Chain A
């Protein structure tokens, strides 16, 4: 379970004299097996919320309690190192999470379908290839809760189908927080939606209503 209580996050402006409140007073509970979407326009704070839940950044106010293992934010940036090859990134993740190299390497090879590109630096990958590598690594490490920031939308149709298979058919008991603004993907994955607007967050059990509100913002 992840319990978020009265969460607020400020960022200082460039001059340092003022600050922006990106998230304000957000509370919710993510139960084991539950799959929640985070909706919001660009800059609404979706990625910030995901990073806070992952523990990458610290909240300005409020608490986040985690009683299950939580993935890193699986997104376009972070988690993997661009200057290293795909294989070296697999080794890095193995060392950090104490997993056998062969297990992860086999899984990533099969899932991400990067073939000979695994021997090339990640910086040379396309956005879709990077998404596949990052996603495959997080699935291979095996967490109770996955934090996924937009990247399913980046992948091609085949990747989307296989991600769905991994997160639903094989891992139905895991939790998920998915930041996205693509209705089809959200409806495929999630049962509830947290809509972010001007720092405030509101949870909807009805996804259609959530999208209606989101589009009217």
Chain B
């Protein structure tokens, strides 16, 4: 009995793997295809965003703030912000734009989400890597002090972005209000997420509230803790963010389950 169920599950898993691979390639070809830079746009696109902003900041601010090197600090704030903004912004109507693919019964709305947001995430992570190497070669950023913590920070930032994107994707198909409010919300997010500050700079009472309500702050603390080492105090709680993000993910999956009902087909 259990053996047959496992077999059915394994077969379904194989189908889903194939479908996600197909959608991944489709998204890739549609966005960049074979024209000019081709797949290099995958990370060039976020870089076009990031490099001018980093250059601008390094000109207008002092080279050190709170004892941290300015460019490295901006890099560690802005690049993770781009992951979040691109992955979530791209999630609005992600299913509707690909509704033609749902004509194939094997394709589920979740597959479409994974294909599209997965590619967006990979692109942005690559941009992080490329810009880091670039700044490292220019000598303005140091090699991370603690790799594991640095990467864990990016892992949690990616998970947070995907979990929110999943909810946004599912809700935007239900109500267009989501589209209207998401842009201002993601703009305000910039102020509170942890881009501009460290938890240690906050008063104790505010810090507790921020760490409770602001999951990306934990990711920022990990990234910067990993990058700068013991030069400043960091606050994060991996098990707390893991729980919060797991709950977000479950809510997103649950909302995504009956998205098909809210779609209008040509």
Interface-facing stretch out of B103-111, B121-129, B148-156, B231-239: B103-111
Q: How far is the CB of B258 from chain A (nearest CB, A)?
A: 8
B74 at the interface (CB under 8 A from A): no
Interchain CB contact (< 8 A) of A84 among B26, B99, B104, B105: B26
A18 at the interface (CB under 8 A from B): no
A21 at the interface (CB under 8 A from B): no
Question: What are 18 A-B interface contacts by the 8 Å CB criterion?
Answer: A51-B265, A55-B105, A56-B103, A58-B261, A72-B103, A79-B100, A81-B26, A81-B30, A81-B100, A84-B29, A84-B30, A91-B22, A91-B25, A92-B25, A92-B26, A93-B104, A96-B107, A98-B18
Across the two chains, which residue of chain A brings its CB closest to B30? A83
Consensus secondary structure, chain B interface: helix
Q: Are B101 and A81 in contact (CB under 8 A)?
A: yes
Q: Are A78 and B107 in contact (CB under 8 A)?
A: no
| Chain B hits for A85, CB < 8 A | 29
Interface residues contributed by chain A, number (CB under 8 Å): 27
Q: What residues make up the interface of B, taking CB atoms closer than 8 Å to A?
A: 18-19, 21-22, 25-26, 29-30, 99-107, 260-261, 263-266
Given the interface pairs A57-B260, A58-B261, A95-B21, the reply to whether A88 lies near B29 with Cβ below 8 Å is yes
Q: How far is the CB of A148 from chain B (nearest CB, A)?
A: 13
What total of A-B pairs shows CB separation below 8 Å?
64
Q: How far is the CB of B65 from chain A (nearest CB, A)?
A: 45
Query: Can you name 4 extra interface pairs (CB under 8 A) apart from A56-B102, A72-B105, A81-B26?
Result: A81-B100, A96-B19, A96-B107, A98-B18
Q: What residues make up the interface of A, taking CB atoms closer than 8 Å to B?
A: 11, 51, 54-58, 70, 72-73, 77-85, 88, 91-93, 95-98
Q: Are B19 and A78 in contact (CB under 8 A)?
A: no
A51 to B103, CA, bound (A): 8
Residue of B21, B22, B263 with most partner-chain A CB within 10 A: B22
